[in-house]
Amino acid sequence: MAQAPVLSVRDLAIALPRGGDRPHAVDKISFDVPPGKIVCLLGESGSGKSVIANAVMGLLPSGLVPVRGAIELQGENLLAATPSRLRQLRGPSMAMVFQEPMTALNPVMTCGAQIDEMLAQHVQMGSAERRKKILAIMQRVRLPEPERIYASYPHQLSGGQRQRIVIAMALILKPVLLICDEPTTALDVTTQAEILRLILELQTENGTAVLFITHDFGVVAEIADEVVVLELGAMIEKGGKMAVLTAPREPYTKMLLDAVPELSPPRRPPVPDTYPLLNAVNICKTYVTGSWPGKRRTVNAARNVSLEVRPGETVGIVGESGSGKSTVARCIARLIDPSSGDIFADGRSVAHARGRALSPFRRTVQVIFQDPYRSLNPRQTVGASIIEGPVNFGMPHDQAWARAEELMRLVRLSPDALRRYPSEFSGGQRQRISIARALACDPKVLIADEAVSALDVSVQAQILRLLDEIQQRLKIGILFITHDLRVASQICDSVLVMSQGEIVERGPVRDVFFAPRHDYTRKLLAAAPGRDFAFARS
């Protein structure tokens, strides 16, 4: 006899505010999540995946209104539940792992205190017992030095570590339903593999039902039991994992699968051996934490990192969370000061430049950040954010605005959206806006720090093609930081593999990814989700 579903969504329709680009955020959505099973919601940015997740949790913004259907958790209709009842259910019965951990965590509370808040709200337990339970879950999600992490604030952790804190918070009360909204987006492949194994372990132990939202088809291939494909709020296709990923019926599903990047040698012309646009020499970055001599701790975030980026060349940096990838990028972009070493741009040293002396360098080198919500000013329209740089460098306002409209078309957004605010866009749309902003200053070098990690596969493929076209036309150099080895193999000419602040292997992509010499590189490649899965291709 089949078990009753933990979550049942029936004929769900959620209306968008008047003036939206369509009447409903989602319409006619029906699916079940049985106990011990993972159902993956797939679709492009704006297809309604996160709207469904937020509707289940009772976290829909005021402008989005359920107008039809039902959402039942173990037979209880959540759409009819009171706010106080929903608060009782969140944590013990259902929990959610959000896409952007820095916006999900309170910046003025330690990580331990934030998890403790969840326990104190829902269980009768002494403070010492709660602390022991928190340290245990931190260890379970593979956080290093749980005692230190317990006392740390979110900004003191890497992106991957912050995401693991959010996952620990969601798992600590062992809910019957776990909703994961892009939970592995910010994670490197080895941590991603650990988190996916952890979710599978939780299912085995507790019969937990999981609603998993992702754009990573490798993740779907690894963990899904059932797949639901959405397009612009409509349910296009649903079925078992093998049926949908290897024999899709609908053209939209086939288009998504065609866009999944393959781990394959790049088909890129050789880069001429010309003078580098950017040259980093023996970059070191050391942090000293703690105030008392006995408690001081030295962290070598980067040690003797050297690299060159030539015109028309894309250099990749890959490695686990905390390996030093983003630290090196921020040192090179002069967003933080390197402890030692030198940086040359157009032959001029900028490692120790300050103030106005950095102005030409700021125009030469632009950064696309990992988290678009944090890098865009929430009080500025996206148009104001995009034109701010060019206007500061002397471009007339009207010309800068026309350039912004052109760039919005390039990143597949309407120019009309320039007058809207970041909060009005999905995560993937905000990242496209960030890319447009970086290109607005016509830089010679782009530093892309996980620039496509938040994008669905079709937009990701489009952005990678766009970067390639711009690079070929303008001969810009790109320093590309990513945890997605398949993306790196598609866009990079050469790649650096980092571990614990040091480069352990470097060379052309063909050599490093397909004939790795270092054990660490082999471990990264082995952990890539869905690496050997045979996706359907047109």
Q: 453 pLDDT exceeds 90?
A: no
Q: 202 pLDDT exceeds 80?
A: no
Q: What count of Cα atoms within 13 Å lies in the side-chain half-sphere of residue 494?
A: 15
- Cα(370)–Cα(482) distance, rounded to whole angstroms? 9
Which pLDDT value is given to residue 385? 94
Q: 360 pLDDT exceeds 80?
A: yes
Q: 41 pLDDT exceeds 90?
A: yes
Question: 297-318: b or e for each residue (b if 16 or more CB lie within 10 Å)?
Answer: eeebbbbebebbbbbbbbbbbb
Which pLDDT value is given to residue 391? 92
Which pLDDT value is given to residue 294? 61
Average pLDDT over residues 328-357: 86
Which pLDDT value is given to residue 454? 67
Instruction: Band the pLDDT of 185: cuts 50, 70, 90.
Output: low
Judging by beta carbons within 10 Å of its beta carbon (0-12, 13-18, 19+), is residue 75 exposed, middle or buried?
Answer: exposed
Instruction: Band the pLDDT of 8: cuts 50, 70, 90.
Output: very high
Q: What percent of the chain has pLDDT over 90?
A: 39
pLDDT digits (tens, 9 = 90+) for 83-113: 999 999 998 999 998 877 888 899 999 999 9
Q: What count of Cα atoms within 13 Å lies in the side-chain half-sphere of residue 164?
A: 30
Residues in the chain: 538
Which pLDDT value is given to residue 536? 75
Average pLDDT over residues 268-276: 81
Which pLDDT value is given to residue 388? 92
Which pLDDT value is given to residue 521? 92
Higher pLDDT, 53 or 490: 53
Domains of the chain with CATH codes: 7-256 (3.40.50.300), 312-333+350-527 (3.40.50.300)
Report angle CA 97, 98, 102 to the nearest 5 degrees: 120
Which pLDDT value is given to residue 299? 78
Backbone angles phi, psi at 225, to 5 degrees: -100, -45
Average pLDDT over residues 403-418: 89
Which pLDDT value is given to residue 242? 92
User: How does the average pLDDT of the chain come out, rounded?
Assistant: 87
Instruction: Band the pLDDT of 2: cuts 50, 70, 90.
Output: low
In 3D space, the residue among 326, 287, 281 whose CA is nearest the CA of residue 305 turns out to be: 281
Lowest mean pLDDT among 69-78, 362-371, 516-525: 362-371
Report angle CA 371, 373, 375 to the nearest 5 degrees: 70
Average pLDDT over residues 211-234: 88
Q: 477 pLDDT exceeds 70?
A: yes
Which pLDDT value is given to residue 292? 63
Higher pLDDT, 298 or 382: 382
Which pLDDT value is given to residue 196? 79
Which pLDDT value is given to residue 94? 94
Higher pLDDT, 363 or 129: 129
Question: 203-234: b or e for each residue (b if 16 or more CB lie within 10 Å)?
Answer: beeeebbbbbbbbbbbbbbbbbbbbbbbbbbb
Q: 150 pLDDT exceeds 80?
A: yes
Average pLDDT over residues 71-86: 93
Which pLDDT value is given to residue 273? 79
Most confident of 194-203, 208-217, 265-274: 208-217
Residue 136, Cα to own-chain centre: how many angstroms?
A: 26
Which pLDDT value is given to residue 295? 67
Which pLDDT value is given to residue 423? 85
Average pLDDT over residues 512-535: 86
Q: 19 pLDDT exceeds 80?
A: no
pTM of the model: 0.76
Q: Partners of 66 in the beta sheet?
A: 14
Which pLDDT value is given to residue 143? 85
Lowest mean pLDDT among 162-171, 256-265, 329-338: 256-265
- Cα(284)–Cα(301) distance, rounded to whole angstroms? 8
Instruction: Band the pLDDT of 186: cuts 50, 70, 90.
Output: low
Q: 534 pLDDT exceeds 70?
A: yes
Which pLDDT value is given to residue 134? 94
Lowest mean pLDDT among 45-54, 367-376, 501-510: 367-376
> Could you tell me where the beta strands, DSSP code E, fall in 99-250?
177-181, 209-213, 226-231, 234-240
Average pLDDT over residues 367-392: 88
